[in-house]
Amino acid sequence: MRIVIADDEHLVRFSLRSMIEELHLGLTVVAEATDGESLLDALARFQPDLCFVDIRMPGLSGLGAMKKAGKVGHRVRWVILTGHAEFDYAKEALELGASAYLLKPAGPSQISEVLMPLVKAFEKEKVEKSIRFGHVLLAALGSPNSQVAVPRISAAWLVSLRCDTGTECTPQERSDFPAQILTQIRGTAQRFLAGTMVTAAWISAPDQVQVTASWDEADRDARSASAHFKEVIAILVKQSASEPRRLTGFFVDALTSWDAFRQAQHDLGRAVVLRIIFGTAGFYSLQVLGQRLAGLPETLLALADKVEAFVYARECGEIPTLEARVQDLRDAFASVGTSTAYLEAVARYLSFRMGLELPTSFAGSDGIAIWATGLVSATRAELPDLRRIANFRSRVVEKVDQYLKQNLGVEVRVPDIASALGLSPNYLSSVYRRLTQNTISERLTVLRLDYSRELLARPESQIKEVAAVVGYKSTRYFARLYHKRFGHYPSGR
């Protein structure tokens, strides 16, 4: 919290600054003012969060400065510190938005008593501001409607974190990984909120977490705090290098508009495949990567895409697709040539994901052919296990749909379904989304609306009753969902 102290007595300013610093509440006195005019200058220059202000100062008074600050839109908390106890002063100060009214001389206990609740309220407000920013951001990202409200982006960066897991991880550990990273990132973000800085983090794909920080371009404290936050994310990524669950980060800086933000999200979504040729557990600037990519052969970039497609087919248990993918991958290896460093990176990635032994050498086409043949053999050897996993996951989807159809008219919670199937909620959600490309909630909505259309086709059907049967208390909300799915509003009585 940034503080300005406005008082015409030097001793008062010095004493108050000393008491604030001794409280160790994370407060910073960014400026001092000796009259109302210099206070207004400090407000404009430093954008403080709190001002201690004396009522009577030479020239423009403290109350006069508060009035002018309010008219020009300064959002700041005020604490009146004065030697005048007149009721009229106190009344006017409170009407102008003062949070507290202290009489001189105020000691450390009085200052602490005033500041503690203000600091708590300020910290809560910062977190709530970030939460609101995240809600607006995700609503805008998820809506094709150009009329939807979008967040204001003055200065921002965006990071995409790709979550990769090794063979020693259990299915539940794999599915829980992105959610755990998301929780860790959100908890860390709260420690760095400063000034106008807001943050948001969300799972943008089954194995991908995106994080952003945004702030007013002129706010140096927020810019510095956001840089420290990004450094912590980079450390988290690099520390995963020796772990069975690894992160790889890609980021774009200097975003100054919503359009630039959307473009960065699109570019980062496409860039995550590059970890396969540059290495996992790295933290890469997309601007810098662009320069490195300029000299690489197209066959190498195509190899990265084919590795990604192969790994995805393997994890989803798409057996017919997998057999075709591994042949494509062998051919792609042969077409790359002898880009040794990049081929070694690809080998390390496949070794991590599949448990294959790393090749001793990639020198020459013979080494590449041997490696590719080994990859094909290893994939064929694990097909029986992959088929069993695929069959299990398919049964999970069938059982989820069966559960949903049996509970269309009541509240359905993922933990309840997971408990009924003997799975963890995160694992269930991950498997279902990976195989169906929909969340369980989205699937429930589809099933409810499809069933409602059957009910509405019956003679004498009533919209309100049908909405209730399929689990919607609000007829208006039900009608909106129905229109969104079928292109017209429900008909009936």
Q: pTM to 2 decimals?
A: 0.70
Instruction: Examine the fold and report which residue of 356, 381, 406 is the final residue of a domain before the chain moves on.
Output: 381
Confidence of residue 322 (pLDDT cuts 50, 70, 90): confident
Nearest partner of 373 among 330, 338, 340, judged by Cα: 330
Band the pLDDT of 241: cuts 50, 70, 90: very high
| 393 inside domain | yes
**287 & 159 share domain:** yes
Shared domain check, 402 and 360:
no
- Do 352 and 446 fall into the same domain? no
Bridge partners (DSSP) of residue 18 are none
Identify the pLDDT of residue 211: 97
Same domain, 156 and 286: yes
Tell whether 350 and 438 lie within a shared domain: no
Alpha helices (H) in 49-107, listed in sequence order = 62-71, 87-95
Establish if 492 belongs to a structural domain.
Answer: no
Q: What is the tally of helices (H) and strands (E) in the chain?
A: 20, 10
Q: Is the peptide bond before 105 cis (omega within 30 degrees of 0)?
A: yes
- Rounded Cα distance between 163 and 345, Å, is 17
pLDDT at 432 over 60: yes
Assign residue 440 the CATH number of its domain. 1.10.10.60
Angle (CA) 27 28 30, round 5°: 150
pLDDT, residue 371, reads: 65
Predicted pLDDT of residue 85: 63
User: Is residue 128 in a domain?
Assistant: no
Least confident residue range of 90-94, 95-99, 274-278, 308-312: 90-94
Flag whether 139 is in a domain: no
Reported as a single tens digit per residue, the pLDDT across 71-80 is: 887 788 888 8
Q: Are residues 457 and 362 both part of a single domain?
A: no
The band of 101, judged by pLDDT with boundaries at 50, 70 and 90, is confident
Domain contains 404:
yes
Whether pLDDT at 366 is above 60: no
User: Are 176 and 283 members of one domain?
Assistant: yes
Looking at the fold, whether 277 and 202 belong to one and the same domain comes out as: yes
The last residue of a domain, from among 381, 409, 437: 381
* Whether residue 283 sits in one domain with residue 163: yes
Specify if 326 maps to a domain: yes
Task: Taking residues 259-283, report their average pLDDT.
Answer: 93
Whether residue 116 is contained in a domain is answered as yes
Using the 3D structure, point to which of 346, 364, 381 is the last residue of a domain: 381
Q: What is the pLDDT of residues 192-227, one digit of tens each?
A: 998 889 999 998 888 899 999 999 998 888 999 999
Residue 242: which domain range? Answer: 152-293
CATH number at residue 207: 3.30.70.270
**Which of 116-125, 126-135, 145-154, 312-321 is least confident?**
312-321
Task: Supply the mean pLDDT for the chain.
Answer: 85
Q: Which two tokens stand for residue 38?
A: 């210099």
The pLDDT tens digits of the residues spanning 138-188 come to 888 877 666 678 899 999 999 999 999 998 888 778 888 998 999 999 999
**Domain count within the chain:** 4
Give a yes or no: residue 473 inside a domain: yes
Tell me, yes or no, whether 15 and 29 share the same domain. Answer: yes
Say if CB 250 and CB 286 are below 8 A apart: yes
